[in-house]
Amino acid sequence: MMRAHESLPFPLAGMRVLDLTRALSGPFATRILSDLGADVIKVEPPDGDMTRAYGSRIGGLASHFTQHNAGKRDICIDMKAAGAVELVLALAEVADIVVENFRPGVMARFGLDWATLHARNPRMCMLSISGFGQEGPERERAAYAPVLHAECGLIDRFAELGKHHAVDFPASSADTTAAVHGVIGLLAALLMAARTGQGQHIDLAMINTQFYHDDFLSMVLSGDTPPAGSGEVWTVAGGRMVVATTFSYLWKKVSRHGGLADPGDEDGRRAALAAYFASFPSWEAVTAMLDSLNLAWGRVRPWREAVHTNPSVGPREVITQIDDRVGGTRPTTQAPYHFSAARAGVRGPAPYRGEHNAEILRDWLGYDADRIATLHVTGVLSAQEDAQP
């Protein structure tokens, strides 16, 4: 097993993260921090994070919620109740990091804006993820991943250049890239805070991160047309494969190797290459030829099967098993960080709503049982009473 060194420390062990996020961009960022060893406290409203309804349930926990919240502790606070804001402020006062992904202005309406939190905890670093930034002409717009994919031109580009029907692609790139850059920004801010004693606020807009991640944006800015993709799919013995290069370079390399006559036009060259690839008796024979030409290839795996059939998934520990809360285990993603002298990885199951109310307030604030019970009686705290599968 690659993660056999259980005695190694987590890089962020002892770090306290107050997670005020929901849906995906924020929870994905705080899942990363948790996997790196931080104590992540998810603050959840009484009606729960919307992703608790996404996917099949085991032990009352949906698959999507589980993936992005495994390893965290959960406290359920009704922000409308008297005393709720004061409780969140108390938690923020002892946190190293606060993460939120509400629309700009929401935190200020609760009295939890950066200026307020910074005044009470100057060394704390805060990450705010939003669609269009804390300042700007579109700051108040609702923004989920498909909105950013559309606004950044990606849906239209994929449709036009790939000759597809215009539809959002089935992966929340705008959310996950924002999450990764949010963590990068936080780690940089923490390093600076260690030198200066002063934390800072990171205003991270998905519009920025999505354009930043567009590796062909310079071509767009120059008036050029980006390639439709970085590789074409070919049918060969044993399945379909993509060869990761431009068509012109692929034709140059393979036609020379195979002694193919040049038909003189692109359609003819595609037909010639397709016939040549189909002439190989086996998958191994085709890949051996491509390897000899130093051409990178990949098997086009059915999407429902890819995680089960790729030979690197097991050895690289892409998937791990966590407690399913009903006596068994369930699979989820494992952290991708393989350190030489530290460890990372999911450290527990996904939490139920309000599951850790008492232990969080004991651990972070030193509250006794009577004080915690009072917060339940007054409606500040609540918890999921049972787990319906």
Which two structure tokens, joined as six digits, stand for 317?
Answer: 């520990």
Of residues 35, 175, 262, 265, which has the active-site annotation? 175
> How many CB atoms neighbour CB 147 within 10 A?
17
- Checking 20-23 for CB contacts under 8 A at 24+ apart, the result is 20/88, 20/98, 20/99, 20/100, 20/101, 20/102, 20/107, 20/112, 21/99, 21/100, 21/101, 21/129, 22/49, 22/50, 22/51, 22/101, 23/49, 23/50, 23/51, 23/101, 23/144, 23/175
Q: Which runs of E-coded beta strand occur in 7-124?
A: 16-20, 39-44, 57-58, 61-62, 73-76, 97-100
Ordered alpha helix ranges (H), 197-245: 206-212, 217-221
- Catalytic, 175? Answer yes
Question: Exposure pattern of 75-89 as b/e (b: 16+ CB <10 Å)?
Answer: bbbbbebeebbebbb
> Which residues, including other chains, have CB under 8 Å from residue 109's CB and lie 6 or more apart?
none
> Which residues, including other chains, have CB under 8 Å from residue 1's CB and lie 6 or more apart?
317
Alpha carbon distance 149, 172 (integer Å): 9
Torsion of CA 242, 247, 249, 253, to 10 degrees: 70
Q: Give the closest residue to 147 by CA, choosing from 21, 55, 23.
A: 23
Alpha-carbon distances, residue 91 vs 18, 86, 112 (angstroms): 7, 9, 11
Alpha-carbon distances, residue 331 vs 60, 72, 249, 317, 323 (angstroms): 15, 16, 41, 11, 9
Q: Give the closest residue to 32 by CA, choosing from 173, 178, 197, 210.
A: 178
The rounded Cα 149 to chain-centroid distance in angstroms is 15
Which are the catalytic amino acids? Answer: 175
